[in-house]
Amino acid sequence: MLDINTFDETKIDWKPLPDPDGEPTEHVSMSFLNVDEKAKIIDILFKFSANEKIPMHIHTSNYSTFTVKGELRTYDTDGNLQSTRPAGVFKAGTPGEAHTEGGGDEDVVVYFSLRPYTSTDPIYEILDDNLEVVADMCFDDLKELYKEYSN
Q: Which CATH superfamily is domain 22-150 in?
A: Jelly Rolls (2.60.120.10)
* Measured distance CA(88)–CA(90) in Å, rounded: 7
Grouped pLDDT means (10 residues each) for the chain, 151 residues:
69 89 87 96 97 94 96 96 96 94 95 93 93 94 93 78
* Measured distance CA(46)–CA(33) in Å, rounded: 11
- Give me the sheet containing 122-127, strands edge to edge: 57-59, 122-127, 133-138
Q: Provide the pLDDT for residue 26.
A: 84
What is the domain partition of the chain in residue ranges?
22-150
